[in-house]
Structure 1
Amino acid sequence: MTQEITAKAHAKVNLHLGVGHVREDGYHELVTVFQSLSLYDVVRITPADVMGAGCVEKLQADAPGVPEDASNLAWKAAEAVAQRSGEQLSRVAIELRKGIPVAGGMAGGSADAAATLLAMNATLQRPLSEAVLLEIAAELGSDIPFTLLGETRVGTGRGEALTPLMSRGQYHWALAFSKQGLSTPEVFAKLDTMEREAHLSYEAVAQALMRADAQTLAEALHNDLQAAALSLRPDLRKVLNMGERAGALRGIVSGSGPTCAFLCADAESAQEVAAELGVYYRTATATGPAPGAELMEGSAWSI
Structure 2
Amino acid sequence: MSGAEVRVSSPAKINLSLGVGPVRDDGYHPLATVYQAVGLYDEVVVRATDGSPVLTVSGEGVDVAEVPTDGSNLALRAVAALGDHHGRELPVELHVHKRIPVAGGLAGGSTDAAAALLGADVLFGLHTPREELLGLAATLGSDVPFCLVGGTALGGGRGEVVTPVMTRGEYWWVVVPDSGGLSTPAVYREFDRLHGDDPAPDPEVPDELLAALRAGDAVRLGAALVNDLEPAAVSLRPDLLHLLRAGRQGAALGALVSGSGPTTVFLCDGPVHAEEVDRTLRSEQGTRPAIVVKGPVPGARVTGGHR
Q: TM-score range by the shorter chain?
A: over 0.9
Task: Using the aligned pairs only, state the percent identity.
Answer: 43
Question: How far has the Cα of 1:246 moved from its partner?
Answer: 3.1
- Report the AA paired with residue 257 of structure 1: G
Structure 1 residue aligned with 2:19: 18
Structure 1 residue aligned with 2:226: 222
- Report the AA paired with residue 173 of structure 1: W
Q: How does 1:1-303 map to 2 (within 5 A)?
A: 3-48=4-49, 51-52=51-52, 56-62=53-59, 63-89=64-90, 91-195=91-195, 197-198=200-201, 200-278=204-282, 279-296=286-303, 298-300=304-306, 302=307
- Report the AA paired with residue 215 of structure 2: R
SS in 2 for 1:22: coil
Question: How far has the Cα of 1:264 moved from its partner?
Answer: 0.4
- Report the AA paired with residue 80 of structure 1: A
SS in 2 for 1:194: helix
State the alpha-carbon separation in 1 of the partners of residues 35 and 249 from structure 2. 26
SS in 1 for 2:305: coil
TM-score (norm 2): 0.91
Question: How far has the Cα of 1:9 moved from its partner?
Answer: 1.4
Q: How many residues in Structure 1 have an aligned counterpart in Structure 2?
A: 295
C-alpha RMSD over aligned residues: 1.7
Structure 1 stretches of 5 or more lacking a match? none
More divergent stretch after superposition (1-10 vs 107-116): 1-10
Question: How far has the Cα of 1:85 moved from its partner?
Answer: 2.2
SS in 2 for 1:287: strand
More divergent stretch after superposition (266-275 vs 3-12): 266-275
State the alpha-carbon separation in 2 of the partners of residues 238 and 26 from structure 1. 32
TM-score (norm 1): 0.92
- Report the AA paired with residue 273 of structure 2: S
Do the aligned partners of residues 88 and 27 (structure 1) sit closer, same or farther apart at CA in structure 2, a change above 3 Å counting?
A: closer
- 8 Å Cα contact 2:5/2:123 also seen in 1: no
- 8 Å Cα contact 1:178/1:282 also seen in 2: no
State the alpha-carbon separation in 2 of the partners of residues 120 and 85 from structure 1. 12
State the alpha-carbon separation in 1 of the partners of residues 292 and 140 from structure 2. 29
- 8 Å Cα contact 1:243/1:277 also seen in 2: yes
State the alpha-carbon separation in 2 of the partners of residues 27 and 15 from structure 1. 20
More divergent stretch after superposition (255-264 vs 192-201): 192-201
More divergent stretch after superposition (232-241 vs 57-66): 57-66
Post-superposition CA distance 1:150-206 (Å, at most 9, x none): 111111110111111111110000010100000011001101111375452321110
State the alpha-carbon separation in 2 of the partners of residues 252 and 100 from structure 1. 18
